[in-house]
Amino acid sequence: MQTVFPLIVNKEVTEYQGNDYLEYPEEWTEAEYYGDVDEFESVAPSNFVSIVDIRYRDRTICSKVLWGIPNANEFNGWFYNCPFRIDLLTYATRGDDNEGEVFLSVSDGLPPILSMEKERKDGKLWMELRDGLRLSWIVVNKKMKQAANLASWSPLGGQRHWPTDKDFLIRFGSVLSAKDIFPFQVVECILIMKFRVIHTEGEGVPTTLKLTELSMQLEDMEGSHVNGRNSLLILKEALSCRRSKNYSEVLESCHLYSKAQSELKEEKMKSESRLDRLCIVSGIAAFLTFWYCIL
């Protein structure tokens, strides 16, 4: 992929309004929570195709295709009520340009790493991965003849040495509209790429990394995983959202989302703290009342 497929840009993140974020209806009808039932019935998992490319320093190291959504055969099956997640390395087989395991080594332009101990100190490998890796995850709706790139092309963040010393987690993603599906009107599409160091120069062989995870999942503003049913609706609508090749616009929409999410977490912590203090005061008052009645 020589040019960046248009990325999703969603700046319609509702501005934070204090406790307004915490005011939900006590009971939502099925139509309010899931959207229009007729609309949902028009969304079939088999309508979607994922076309995924990983590039490192302008060189394609992985191209995979996934036809449909895995494990979504039955309408009332577990997929629709359980957290939505696609692990591309597990399911993508048909139509792959390069089948099998994916490696990244010095021959691809990766800098030689003498040892993991040295890497922990200077972070050279981590910076190289963060600056050199690019991800395109294009989702196509065959029925609607629409497509969009759900990745951010460049990494949005990541984590070194997680969960083990030799693992490097790189995060990509985008902000998708969830209007009329969730109270916050938006969700985050999180794409995780994980590499593990399997050889270093100190072992007498070229530095080599193995791709161990390439996954997609959706999370709401509170960090809860979106189920399969809602995810299909969100993906359907996402393909008709505004798109752009301007990476700075994508970053801006992600920053708006992160800001609103941080403010929500802060307000929830404050509310919980106020509730804890109220419970303590009520407990003390009840204790004093008890002893006053005894005396």
| Secondary structure (DSSP) of 96-163 | -SS-S--EEEGGGTPPP-S-HHHHHHH-HHHHHHHHHEEEEEEEEETTTTEEEE-S-BS--EEEES-S
Closest by alpha carbon to 148, among 243, 52, 249, 251?
A: 243
The enclosing H or E element of 263 equals helix 247-294
Report CA Rg, the chain: 23
Closest by alpha carbon to 39, among 283, 208, 212, 237?
A: 237
What does the alpha-carbon distance between residue 132 and residue 136 come to, in Å, rounded to a whole number?
14
Rounded to 5°, angle at Cα 83 from 9 and 175: 10
Residues 6+ apart with CB under 8 A from 31: 37
The enclosing H or E element of 186 equals strand 186-199
- Beta bridge partners of residue 214, listed in sequence order: 193
Q: Tens of pLDDT along the chain (295 residues)? A: 445 678 888 777 655 444 444 444 444 444 444 444 445 556 889 999 999 999 999 899 999 999 998 877 755 568 888 899 999 998 765 445 556 789 999 999 998 999 999 999 999 999 999 999 999 999 999 999 999 999 999 999 999 998 899 999 999 999 999 888 888 889 999 999 999 999 998 888 899 999 999 999 999 988 899 999 899 999 999 988 888 888 788 888 888 888 888 888 887 777 666 665 666 656 665 655 655 666 5
User: What pLDDT does residue 18 have?
Assistant: 44
Phi, psi of 72 (to 5 degrees): -125, 45
What does the alpha-carbon distance between residue 62 and residue 54 come to, in Å, rounded to a whole number?
5
Q: Is residue 279 left, alpha or beta, with left meaning phi > 0 and alpha meaning psi from -120 to 50?
A: alpha
* Block residue for tokens 């399969």: 228
Residues 6+ apart with CB under 8 A from 49: 65, 66, 67, 68, 139, 140, 142
pLDDT digits (tens, 9 = 90+) for 231-279: 999 999 998 888 888 878 888 888 888 888 888 888 777 766 666 566 6
User: Are the C-beta atoms of 214 and 52 separated by less than 8 Å?
Assistant: yes
What does the alpha-carbon distance between residue 224 and residue 80 come to, in Å, rounded to a whole number?
15
Residues, the chain: 295
- b or e along 142-171 (b: 16 or more beta carbons within 10 Å of the residue's beta carbon)? eeeeebbbbbbbbbbebebbeeeeebbbbb
Residue 122, both tokens? 């200077």
What does the alpha-carbon distance between residue 263 and residue 134 come to, in Å, rounded to a whole number?
30
Residues 6+ apart with CB under 8 A from 285: none
